[in-house]
Chain A
Amino acid sequence: MTSNSSSFLSLKDIIKSYGELFVLKHLNADIEKGELVTFLGPSGCGKSTLLRCIAGFTKMNSGTIILGGRVINDDPPHKRGTGMVFQNYALFPHLSVENNIGFGLKVLKYPKREIKKRVEELLELVKLRGLGSRRIDQLSGGQQQRVALARALSLEPKILLLDEPLSNLDANLRVTMRAEIRRLQKEMGLTVIFVTHDQEEAMSISDRLMIIYEGKVEQVGSSTDIYDRPANEFIAGFIGYVNFVEGKIQTIDNERDFIRVESDVGAIEILAKGKDLKVGEVIKLVIRPENITMVVSDETERNNLLFGEITNSIYTGSLVKYFINVGKHMFIMEQHTPKKYGILKIHQKIAIELSRDLHILQKRG
């Protein structure tokens, strides 16, 4: 993936290793001004390391980082204009909330009155008005998080770097806080890089996602791009639940834009508009829970009819998740109106229909 030199933050060919272990391998990425991009990936994929390289805490083996038109590789961390929020917040325990937030301004020798004014503004912004004189250990986790955010914003950084900022908060707080961060970002037009391994978090707030795996960017795109059209098996499996069905293309109907695939669950017909496919090619079908529906009437004139047995059901209030065994596959189907049909029992035989709009993964090269 090559990078565009006119974007706001440009990462070119970044390589970083710790001894024999390569954590970032020829990583390229571009981030535009004013967008919230999430680096998403499993633990150890290098996303935090990448963030730290941008901030200047970690030295890269090679590569170029261009921020706002300027190469910042050799800039020391305190001269880069990046604002960082650490996973554990790294608030100064010996300073009060307002002295934490005002720290950067004090370093720049702003006059006291002006620092006080800015700190008040920032406290207001993160909804912590009146807590300026508190000590850090008197704050809750969520409050500490907001102080860390305010502190990072105090110097109006070119880019805001958030390193798993919500992972220490409980589930409800996480949801509230991520909405807050998104709101602030949009209001202030900030450019933000958000690092997380929580895919729901990533999907809900990002303009774009960058899936990072084993030191490389696997795919870049919006939430729908990544979810509906994952570039490979790993990405498909990383986001949401997926079931892969491998099959061989039997026929291609160019008039009606569909193809017929022979698989171990039978023949499957799917839409294949505009794809470069050949008869005899082996492909993988990406099947998500929303691609599966229960067949209720006796009409057998259906496409992609499969027969299976329910092995488990999980009732979560607004929906029921059914685990359906079809041959060697375990499909998950989500039934959103449990009251309508009642909750089906285990060992019950069931007929399901696969949508014709399935995403296809081809073998590369």
Chain B
Amino acid sequence: MKSETAWTDLKDLVKDPLVAFTIAFLACGLLIFILYPIVSVLGKSLFFDGKFSLATYAQFFSRKFHYRALINSLILAGLVTPLTTFLSFVFAYMVSRGPKYLRGFLGIMAVIPFVTPPFVFSLALIILGGRQGLIPKFFNIEFSLFGWSGVILAQVLHFIPLCFIMINNVLTSLNPNLDEAASNLGASQGKTLVAVTFPLCLPGILKAALLVFILSMADFGNPALIGGGISFLAVEAYLLVIGQYELEMASVYCVMLLIPSLILYIIHKYAISENKYITVGGAPGAREEQHVHPIIQIPMLVICFATSIAIIIIFAVIVGGAFTKIIGINHSLTLKHFSITKNFYVLKNSLIVSSYAAIIGATVGTILAYILMRRPVPAKGALEFTSLSGFAVPGTVIGIGFILAFNKPPLKLTGTMAIIVLSMISRTIAVSVEAGIAKLYQIDKSIEEASHNLGAGSLYAFIKIMLPLMFTAFFGSLIYAFIHGMNTLSAVIFLTPPRFMLAPIAIFQLAGEGRIGQACSMSIFLILCVFASLGILYLVSKKTGIKTVG
């Protein structure tokens, strides 16, 4: 059966050469820039001394030095995920049902860590709890945030926004009548929360949790900066490549990173369906003002405020670090950190590369989404999965994979700007594809059919009809790709030559060298860039009158 439809698809495809060519081109792109690097890593891990062998794997599992990195990464993800999920749920519950005057504030607090480069939290925690940290200094106690506590704290705070947005989506799409029905049947608020609200959110919560787990395992910046020497997979892989050029073992580390990520991503995408819980029954009524009972509300608000204060302290510390000579030692205000010209070049590089990656990635992704949804394509599922896997694959794996795949002819790209841009695209194209697909579900097929009925050919219809309708998906994913490009570290750290430094790498190095002031000032620049791009997104969506964020 399946081969039959693939064959008919192929025949239909050939009738429209432009589309056929585009698909072939995109498919090649996906194969070369996503599949090929991953396969290279896999391949490298299976070689030792030029011959096929499992010796490297044997070495990995026999020496504690190696396999403890895997264990630590799993433990870290195992601790961070429930914590992040719990806090995100509390925030989401308060934002959707808490006191009206607090909802805006809490919503902003929950989302604001998203605008920072991922390891900025570590930077702030170093300032607070490092060797020269503010906390041991001011409170005169033995206190260090290096190690488990620092990494967990940094990761939790950084992953809350993504988790919050996903859980908030689920909570707000619940039929409000269900709470009322439960209370009409005698259930108190607590009982309703436990017996009705929570079980219905569970699929959505699980999806968010799986994503957090994947991201935690793949995280490079935080464990590197504040891990205090504890071995984690992404960090050790980096050291193996940069320090010892042991690409075989590094590849094994990558496989260890890859397997859990891909498994969980498959579960996340294909095994959990949350729709059946949301769409049963007629259209939900309007949500009446809900008053959460104090017994539930007060502890929740306490948790939210404690977390918010932590976030505010982090930002305050970064600002403090940027504007004081040496935070913790010399608190005279200065603008010195902002005027290092080298740093401006670095920012410019990041802006250029991120812009290229964003524009190309969003365009290709949107076109791909359209083709996957609306055109007969053989092996549609495989293509979609390949484009989405770029998102699930840890940056470290992409970085090392790109080194392995593109360090020799015919595609010698190492050391060029192109390889940096391509690595960014391969990681963010999934967002454009998913956003495009989601948007296309909302656009009825008959709109495009009408355009064909009126004589428009494929390309014309696509440009004049579909693209404008899909604009919000396109533009939203473009901004996401831009922000990602500006803030990403784990892949590009393998691919940038010293003469073409990127901002996150510079911050990373500056922090490592103890130049906290400059690290903070650069971080503030990055944050401002992100704010600016989000501001543009907001203005564009206001102008086109459609909601793009959320």
- B-contacting residues of A (Cβ < 8 Å)? 52, 55-58, 76-79, 82-84, 86-94, 103-104, 107-108, 136-137, 144, 151-152, 154-155, 168
Are A90 and B178 neighbours in the complex by a CB distance under 8 Å? yes
In angstroms, how far is the closest chain A Cβ from the Cβ of B116?
A: 37
13 A-B pairs with C-beta separation under 8 A: A58-B288, A77-B180, A78-B182, A78-B184, A88-B281, A88-B284, A91-B280, A91-B281, A93-B200, A94-B199, A104-B186, A107-B185, A107-B187
Q: Name the residue on A nearest B283 (C-beta).
A: A88
Are A90 and B185 neighbours in the complex by a CB distance under 8 Å? no
Q: Does B276 contact A (CB under 8 A)?
A: yes
Are B277 and A57 neighbours in the complex by a CB distance under 8 Å? no
Q: Does B298 contact A (CB under 8 A)?
A: no
Chain A residues near B178 (CB-CB < 8 A): 90, 92
Within 8 A of A (CB), among B340-385: none
Are A93 and B277 neighbours in the complex by a CB distance under 8 Å? yes
CA distance A79 to B285 in the complex (A): 22
Within 8 A of A (CB), among B140-191: 175, 177-178, 180-188, 191
Chain A residues near B177 (CB-CB < 8 A): 86, 88, 90
Chain B residues near A78 (CB-CB < 8 A): 182-188
Q: Does B196 contact A (CB under 8 A)?
A: yes
Are B185 and A155 neighbours in the complex by a CB distance under 8 Å? yes
Selected contact of B186 from candidates A94, A107, A137, A144, CB within 8 Å? A107
Are A86 and B285 neighbours in the complex by a CB distance under 8 Å? yes
In the complex, number of A-B residue pairs with CB atoms less than 8 Å apart? 88
CA distance A56 to B288 in the complex (A): 11
Known: A103-B187, A104-B185. A144 touches B288 (CB 8 A): no
CA distance A92 to B278 in the complex (A): 10
Q: Does B410 contact A (CB under 8 A)?
A: no
Are B185 and A89 neighbours in the complex by a CB distance under 8 Å? no
Are A55 and B184 neighbours in the complex by a CB distance under 8 Å? yes
Interface of B is mostly: helix
Known: A57-B288, A137-B276. A90 touches B175 (CB 8 A): yes
Are B186 and A108 neighbours in the complex by a CB distance under 8 Å? yes
Are B282 and A168 neighbours in the complex by a CB distance under 8 Å? yes
CA distance A154 to B181 in the complex (A): 13
Q: Name the residue on B nearest A83 (C-beta).
A: B184
In angstroms, how far is the closest chain B Cβ from the Cβ of A22?
A: 17
Selected contact of A87 from candidates B183, B187, B188, B285, CB within 8 Å? B285
CA distance A52 to B179 in the complex (A): 13
Chain A residues near B280 (CB-CB < 8 A): 91, 93, 136-137
Selected contact of B183 from candidates A76, A83, A86, A88, CB within 8 Å? A76
Q: Which range contains the number of B residues in contact with the other chain?
A: 20 to 34
Chain A residues near B276 (CB-CB < 8 A): 93, 137
- A-contacting residues of B (Cβ < 8 Å)? 175, 177-178, 180-188, 191, 195-196, 199-200, 276-278, 280-285, 288
Which 6 A-B residue pairs are closest in the complex by CB-CB distance? A104-B185, A88-B282, A90-B177, A90-B181, A78-B183, A93-B280
Most buried by B among A87, A107, A108: A107
In angstroms, how far is the closest chain B Cβ from the Cβ of A195?
A: 13
Chain A residues near B281 (CB-CB < 8 A): 88-91, 93, 136, 144
Are A94 and B277 neighbours in the complex by a CB distance under 8 Å? yes
Q: Name the residue on B nearest A59 (C-beta).
A: B289
CA distance A12 to B374 in the complex (A): 60
Chain B residues near A90 (CB-CB < 8 A): 175, 177-178, 180-181, 281
Are A86 and B181 neighbours in the complex by a CB distance under 8 Å? yes
Chain B residues near A152 (CB-CB < 8 A): 184
Chain B residues near A107 (CB-CB < 8 A): 185-187, 191
CA distance A88 to B282 in the complex (A): 5
Selected contact of A88 from candidates B175, B187, B278, CB within 8 Å? B175
CA distance A292 to B310 in the complex (A): 80
Q: Name the residue on B nearest A91 (C-beta).
A: B281
CA distance A84 to B175 in the complex (A): 16
Chain A residues near B187 (CB-CB < 8 A): 78, 103-104, 107
Chain B residues near A79 (CB-CB < 8 A): 186
In angstroms, how far is the closest chain A Cβ from the Cβ of B8?
A: 33
CA distance A137 to B177 in the complex (A): 17
CA distance A136 to B200 in the complex (A): 13
Most buried by B among A56, A82, A86, A151: A86
CA distance A33 to B508 in the complex (A): 76
Chain B residues near A168 (CB-CB < 8 A): 282
Are B282 and A89 neighbours in the complex by a CB distance under 8 Å? yes
Chain A residues near B283 (CB-CB < 8 A): 88
